[in-house]
Structure 1
Amino acid sequence: MPDYEFSPASGDRPRSGISKQVLIVLGACLPVILALAIWVGVLSWRQRSMGTTDRFSAIVLGRCLTYTQNVHPELRNQDCKKILNAFTSAFVSKDPCSITKEDYQPLINLVTQTVPCNKTLFWSRSKELAHQYSGIQNEMFTLEDTLLGYIADDLVWCGDPRTSEVKEEFCPYRNENCSSTATSVFWTVVSQKFAESACGTVYVMLNGSGTTAFSKASTFGSVEVFNLHPDRVHTLHAWVMHDIGGVSRDSCLGSSIKELKSIVNQRNISFLCQDDYRPARFVQCVRRPEDPACSTLM
């Protein structure tokens, strides 16, 4: 029921049990209170979400066993317990903002895997499509299709110098004050190794619906492309993909791709580029076959 009190004697309109002045103050403060509550909630969620992934060690060990026993049984001789120990030893009991490439070197040395020539697929801002494509073209390897990339994909982790355990609470974000986080350094190290081992013709899937298809700030643009060995890699083939039904902001004729071509050619590697590579376009159209952009493929 409405919180009204009636005065039979006066015959006036209902009188609220809450004064008008209080209502005005509450009305003025409510947006601020709501905004503060939302901010606190988001901050709390971000802190929880950026802590070390729950059951991190169990997930890493389980993924390693799945990969070496089922996905690529030719790697069944890899010791997953040693891999887990080398992985966690790289960051536990250490400052989460002072991890080095050398910390992960024992892990890198422990894992031996060779990606066949002409089968390396890099990606930048196109992770989902690249993985869908490599999932169909089983002989293609993205970084996440290798053992180390597979076990760490989408996980977060960090340590604390005050404990010998994996830190479960908030892990620091990578920023100007914390540029060497456990997670970011790991991906830099394995990305470098992935590029160094590539051979023959290598491929990169780029997003032409973003602001720029190629960015020197990306992992591909800052790490991988500069660690391709010209004596092993003779051609880089770029596929600039555009979202089905989305906008086309960049293409093989754009300035960012010209910059990529210049970098690659300066390294004595040939460069090819193709907009909306047809087999990858088919993968996109599986979800939206009715789109006009897909009807032309049939």
Structure 2
Amino acid sequence: MRRGWCWVGAGLAVVTLSIIIAVPLSLMRATGDFKSTFITKCERFPGKSARHDCLGIWQAFEQAYVGKDPCQVPVESYDHLLTTSPFEPACNRTMFWSKTKDLVHEFTMHRDCFLTAEDTLLGFILDELTWCGKEGSKETFTADCPGWTTCVHNPVRSFWKRVSAAFADVACGDVTSMLNGSITTPFSSTSIFATIEVKRLKSPNVKSLNVVLTTNANAVTNCDNASLKDLQRELDRGINYSCKEVNETKIKRCISDPSIPCRACW
């Protein structure tokens, strides 16, 4: 395309026209690519012997946003999807996180001690993907979609808020959260963990919340951090709270050595 800009006269007009045509065509092709990715990841979802109705899940998923203004897809739009593919309780294995995504998912990828929202079927399929619809169109687009902070009710943001709520709703037993000790506010009042997940943890289904505060050479906080005191106050009465500072080196050692019992990882 860069070489095209060197053309002159009629050649420049052709290049300009090709740009105008190419953008919408590439967006239209995105539907098939995205659907194929969705179905393929659904069929390859690990850890389950039972087969999923991946086409049915896809159809419930696209109903949430197809044909809609990409800034007008509220959280409730995904209610039907969550009915089609509900979460199952993972008592004593539920793991929440905030600003520790890479480390948490490296851990859950190699160890079966814990389960994050991204390790569930829907989370596994849609993690790191972008999608949206447009008014008057039956297509799914993956380009020119609003960013996470562009508008409140965009399809991706609403999906993860709805999934986070559903995941927290089925939490039971001893629950764990991995937070980042290298930032000044490990429990941010604007995070999904604070605004959605913590608020939906309810006693007696949830017995305890155990915070793993990751530390390294850049650690700036500890378990006495003021934001963690806020977390304790936010917890439903009856849920026990604990916090432990754990060096990332120890966690990575558990990742690389499966002979280490999960309980010894922190």
TM-score, length basis structure 2: 0.80
Provide the secondary structure at the position in 2 that maps to 1:62.
helix
Q: Distance in 2 between matches of 1:252 and 1:53?
A: 46
Show CA shifts across 1:229-282 (max 9, x none).
212001000000023xx3111110111111111212x533110000016xx643
Q: Structure with the greater relative contact order (CA < 8 A, sep ≥ 6): 1 or 2?
A: 2
Show CA shifts across 1:182-215 (max 9, x none).
0000000000000000000000000000121111
Query: Does 2:106 correspond to 1:132?
Result: yes
Show CA shifts across 1:76-128 (max 9, x none).
2x200011111111111001011022211111001134132100000000001
Aligned position for 2:175: 202
Contact 2:213 2:243 in 1 (8 A): yes
Deviation at residue 53 of structure 1 after TM alignment: 9.3
Task: Give the count of matched residue pairs.
Answer: 229
Deviation at residue 285 of structure 1 after TM alignment: 5.3
Q: Distance in 2 between matches of 1:262 and 1:87?
A: 36
- Inter-CA distance 75–282: structure 2 relative to 1 (3 Å threshold): farther
Aligned position for 2:229: 258
Aligned position for 1:171: 145
Aligned position for 2:70: 96
Query: Does 2:207 correspond to 1:270?
Result: no
Letter in 2 for 1:225: V
Letter in 2 for 1:283: I
Letter in 1 for 2:36: A
Contact 1:157 1:182 in 2 (8 A): yes
Provide the secondary structure at the position in 1 that maps to 2:196.
helix
Aligned position for 2:92: 118
Contact 2:31 2:141 in 1 (8 A): no
Q: Distance in 2 between matches of 1:121 and 1:274?
A: 15
Q: Distance in 2 between matches of 1:128 and 1:262?
A: 28
TM-score, length basis structure 1: 0.71
Contact 1:251 1:257 in 2 (8 A): no
What pairs up with 1:53-72 in 2 under 5 angstroms? 55-67=33-45, 71-72=46-47
Letter in 2 for 1:59: T
Q: Distance in 1 between matches of 2:50 and 2:89?
A: 12
Deviation at residue 75 of structure 1 after TM alignment: 3.6
State the identity as a percent: 34
- Inter-CA distance 238–180: structure 2 relative to 1 (3 Å threshold): same
Aligned position for 2:197: 224
Letter in 2 for 1:210: I
Who wins on radius of gyration, i.e. which is larger?
Answer: 1
Letter in 1 for 2:125: I
Aligned position for 2:128: 154
- Inter-CA distance 229–286: structure 2 relative to 1 (3 Å threshold): closer
Gaps of 5+ in 2: 1-25, 256-264
